[in-house]
Amino acid sequence: MVCLVTGSSRGLGKATALAFGRNGHQVVVHYRDNKTEAEAVASIINEAIALKADVRYPDDIKTLVDTVIKKWGRIDVLVNNAGITRESLLVKTSVQDFDEIINTNLKGPFNLTRAVSRYMMKQKSGHIINISSYAGVKGKEGLSVYSASKAGLIALTKTAAREFGRYNIMVNAVLPGYMLTDMGIGSGEKAKELALQDNLVKEYSNPDNVAEFICYLAGTTGITGQVFNLDSRIL
């Protein structure tokens, strides 16, 4: 399968790209800034290319998808993983931060879904897996826009699943638990502590385990429109 994992220069995206690679798939290692890291990930996968694109911009995404189609002629799996967060109370959140978070976390997956679904519809097959978050279901103090973007992504997942089911395109969302990636570490000590407080097994989420789940899901048939919670806090 040809698998495009957005934001796979580091964190969960990197673990997911490597998991697809280990399972013998062709992988697009996508990044925005970290070319060296993305190329390093691609270099340890048997068949992979590292490609740059900013998910916020439809023209960037069109070029990215055109390049993949030129190389492999198809796209079987899209994992909408690239994301950002910025912590601030709603009352102090700037309109610029609102735009940046929504454009990355929600418009980005929209741009990618639109671009790849044309090819998946022709293929009459495909998997789109959107990485949402516990915050998108429960809300989180200090993360109003992030939570809203992730809630929007769940609604996008369900709607796309309804529209694409007839083309045999599966669309699902995965909620990882709190992971000690750059994003998780960058959120600070207080956030890390709180994440463990409600966690039933008092463990952070392991990106490699989440990645294996994503890989497994991409290999299933007939499962669509679902939200898979891998966070051991009760929803």
Ligand X SMILES: NC(=O)c1ccc[n+]([C@@H]2O[C@H](COP(=O)([O-])OP(=O)(O)OC[C@H]3O[C@@H](n4cnc5c(N)ncnc54)[C@H](OP(=O)(O)O)[C@@H]3O)[C@@H](O)[C@H]2O)c1
Query: Where does this chain bind ligand X (CB under 6 A)?
Result: 6-7, 9-13, 31-34, 54-56, 81-84, 104, 131, 133, 176, 178-179, 181-184
**For the chain, what's the residue count?**
235
Pick 121 or 180: Cβ nearer ligand X: 180
The whole-angstrom separation of Cα 223 and Cα 183 is 29
CA nearest to 213, candidates 227, 228, 232: 228
CB of 83 to ligand X, least distance (A): 3
CB of 192 to ligand X, least distance (A): 9
Is 146 one of the annotated active-site residues of the chain?
yes
Pick 62 or 125: Cβ nearer ligand X: 62
CB of 114 to ligand X, least distance (A): 16
The one catalytic residue in 146, 167, 178, 204 is 146
Pick 12 or 120: Cβ nearer ligand X: 12
CA nearest to 130, candidates 145, 149, 103: 149
Pick 4 or 179: Cβ nearer ligand X: 179
Within 8 A by CB and 6+ apart from 200, the residues are: 232, 233, 234
Residue 81 DSSP class:
-
Query: Which residue of this chain has its Cβ atom nearest to ligand X in the complex?
Result: 11
CB of 21 to ligand X, least distance (A): 16
The whole-angstrom separation of Cα 135 and Cα 231 is 11
**Nearest-5° Cα angle at 31, 105 to 96:** 40
Positions marked active-site: 146
